[in-house]
Amino acid sequence: MAEAATARRRSRGGGGAARRAERTAVKIETARYIERNIPNFEVLNEEALQVIETNAETVLEEVGVNFVDNPAALERWRNAGADVQGERVRIPRGLARELIKTAPSQFTQHARNPEKSVVIGGRNLVLAPVYGPPFVRDANGGRRYATMEDFRKFVKLGYMSKWLHHSGGTVCEPTDVPVNKRHLDMLHAHMTLSDKPFMGSVTDPSRARDSVEMCEILFGKDFVQENTVMTSLININSPMTFDDVMMGALEVYAEANQACIISPFIVGGAMAPVSVAGTLTQVLAEVLAGIAYSQIVRPGAPVIFGAFVTSIDMNSGAPTFGTPEASLITYGAGQLARRLNLPYRSAGSFCGSKLPDAQAAYETANSLNMGLLSGVNFMLHACGWLEGGLVADFEKFVMDADQLGTLHGLARGVAYDENAQAMDAIREVGPGGHYLGCAHTQANFKEAFWKTQVLDYKPFETWEEEGARDTRTLASLRVEHLLNTYQQPELDPEIAAALAAYVAEKKASVPDAFM
C-alpha cells in the first residue's frame, strides 16, 4: 500500500483549497434509474409457469373476486363479459388476459425536473423510499408517532440521496395532521422540497382528485392531461377482494391517465396459501383482475404488476421478511409479469427487526438483492423500512439508501472492452508485483468500485480511537449532516404560491377529521 500512501500525500500538496471548496459546495447528484445489463434470475420452468397461469384463470373463472360497495364496477364488469353475482365477479377464462393487452409495457413518469423523470418498465429499475409507517424512529428520539416534520425530513433525505430516483408517497404517516388533510401537506412537501417524481393519495377518491389538481398546478393542466406525473399504490385486499376506496382512487387515476401499481398485499399462510406456487397463483389472479379493471376504466392507462408478498412466522403469526419463501415468490412473480409484458413492482428494504441492527440488515439485503435480480421495475420501500413497516427509521433510511448504490454497481454487469480486459496491466505488473501504482489502475480506479457514504473501512485502531462506532451511530451522523446541508430545489414562485394557496383553501373548506 506504500504507493497509495505516497500518492495521497502528494495529492495533498497542490490544489487542496480547490478541493476543499468543491467538498463544501452542496452537490445534489441523482443517479439515473438503473438500466440492467445483467439477466433476470428465474426460478420457474416453462411447465411451472403454465401450471400457475392455467390455475390463475381457473381461480378467476370458478372462484372469482369481490368488488365491494362498488355498483359501478360491477356494472362495468358485467358489460365487459364477466359473470357477476352479488359482489362476486367471475371472469371467464382468457377475458382478463385479453383486457390487459391495452396496458403499456412501459411508461415515463415525469418529474418537475426533467432530468429526474423515470421510465418504468423494460429492463429498468426505479427506486423509491418506504411507504406508510405510522411511527418513526431515530437513535436519539426512539420510536414515536410520525409527524409532518418527520415527513419533511424524509423527503429532504430522499432528495439528497444519490441512489433514490423517486421521492415516494407516504414516507411516513404525519399523524399530527388531520387524516382528511394530510395528503395535501404530503403532496406539497414532495412538490416543493424535492424535484424527483412522487406518488399520489389513494385513501379516498376525492384525495386522488386533489392530487391530480395539485399536479395540474405544478406541471400545467395540458401537460398532466397528456403525460403521467404520478404513480400511486393501489393495494388489493387479498384474498381476491377489491374495496371501494382503493378502486375509487384507481378509477380517478386511470381516467386521468396517471399510473397505478396494482398490488396484492399478502402475508403468505394468512392471505394466501402457505405454498409458493399457490401464492403465485393467487397473486396472478388478483393482478389480472385488477389490471383488467383498470383497462376497462380507461384502455391504455399505465399500470404496474405489483406483488407485496412476505411469509409468516407460524408460531407467533408475525409477518417475516427477507425469507427464502418471499424471495422465491418475488422471482416467480417477476417471470409472470414479464410474460404479460407489464412493468413489475416488488421487493424493498423489508425487515421485521425493531432496530436498524444486524437482523434488519440481513433481511433487507436479502430483499434488495432479490429485488434487483427478479427484474423489479419499480421498487417501493427501497430504504427506511423497519419493524414490518410500522416504523420509518431515519438511520436505516440512509443506511439502506447507501446499499442501493450496490444495486447500481451490480446492474452495470461486466464490461470486456480492451480497457476492461486490462492485459497491459497484467503484462506490466507480472508475477509477484502489485497493481496499485500501475497505469491501468491509475486511469480507472475512480470509477472502478462502488463507494459507501456510511460504512466504515478504517483500520481497527483508528476506528477504536474514534469511539468504536457501529453502523447506526455513523448513519445518525450522516442524517444530521444531510439535513444540515439540505438546500431546497428552486421552484417558479408563481407555482409555489399557487400550490400554497390551493392547500390553504382546501384545508379551510372542510373541518378536521382524525378518523
Sole binder of its own copies in the list 69, 75, 313, 505 (CB under 8 A): 313
Taking residue 329's Cβ as centre, other Cβ atoms within 10 Å add up to: 28
Burial annotation 189-198 (CB, 10 A radius, 16+ → b, else e): bbbbbbbbbb
Q: Contact between 145 and its own copies (CB under 8 A)?
A: no
For its own copies, the binding residue among 69, 409, 485, 487 (CB under 8 A) is: 409
Instruction: Examine residue 325 and tell whether it contacts its own copies (CB under 8 A).
Output: yes
Q: In whole angstroms, give the CA distance from residue 393 to residue 137.
A: 5
Q: Which of 66, 117, 124, 194 binds its own copies (CB under 8 A)?
A: 66
The residue among 432 and 493 lying less far from its own copies, judged by its C-beta, is 432
4 is an interface residue for its own copies by CB under 8 A: yes
Q: In what order do the strands lie in the sheet with 65-67?
A: 83-85, 88-90, 65-67, 241-242
Work out which of 91, 370, 380, 482 binds its own copies, going by CB under 8 A.
370
453 makes contact with its own copies (CB under 8 A)? no
Residue whose C-alpha cell is 508475477: 431
- Render the burial of 433-451: b for 16+ CB within 10 Å, e for the rest: eebbebebbeeeeeeeeee
318 versus 497: smaller Cβ distance to its own copies: 318
390 part of the interface to its own copies, by CB under 8 A: yes
Binding its own copies (rule: CB under 8 A), the pick from 78, 144, 458, 481 is 458
Q: Which of 102, 106, 113, 406 binds its own copies (CB under 8 A)?
A: 406
Nearer to its own copies, 92 or 299 (CB): 92
- Nearest partner of 148 among 160, 140, 156, 138, judged by Cα: 156
Q: HSE of 258 in the Cβ direction (CA atoms, 13 Å)?
A: 28
Positions in 252-311 near its own copies (CB under 8 A): 268-282, 311
Examine residue 497 and tell whether it contacts its own copies (CB under 8 A): no
Query: What number of other Cβ atoms are within 10 A of residue 507's Cβ?
Result: 15
C-alpha cell at 131: 411507504
Of the candidates 381, 382, 384, 355, the one whose C-alpha atom is nearest the C-alpha of residue 473 is 355
Q: How far is the CB of 367 from its own copies (least distance, A)?
A: 9
Query: Contact with its own copies (CB under 8 A): which of 265, 435, 486, 507?
Result: 435
- The cell numbers describing 219, all together, are 406541471
Indicate the SS3 state at residue 450.
coil
Q: Work out which of 10, 14, 449, 509 binds its own copies, going by CB under 8 A.
A: 449
Cβ proximity to its own copies: between 138 and 387 the closer is 387
CB closer to its own copies out of 193 and 475: 475
Q: Nearer to its own copies by C-beta: 285 or 482?
A: 285
- Distance of closest approach, residue 485 Cβ to its own copies, in angstroms: 21
- C-alpha pair distances (Å), 321 with each of 206, 362, 402: 34, 10, 20
Residue 384 found at the interface with its own copies (CB under 8 A):
no
For its own copies, which is the closer residue by CB, 212 or 326?
326
Minimum Å gap between C-beta 434 and its own copies is 6
**Positions 212 through 251 that interact with its own copies (CB under 8 A):** 237, 239-241
How do strand 391-393 and strand 135-138 relate by DSSP bridges?
Answer: parallel
Q: Which amino acid is at 461?
A: E
Q: Of 446, 509, 513, 514, which lies in the binding site for its own copies, with binding defined by CB under 8 A?
A: 446
Cα 334 to Cα 344: distance, rounded to the nearest angstrom:
6
Nearer to its own copies by Cβ, of 258 and 353: the residue is 353
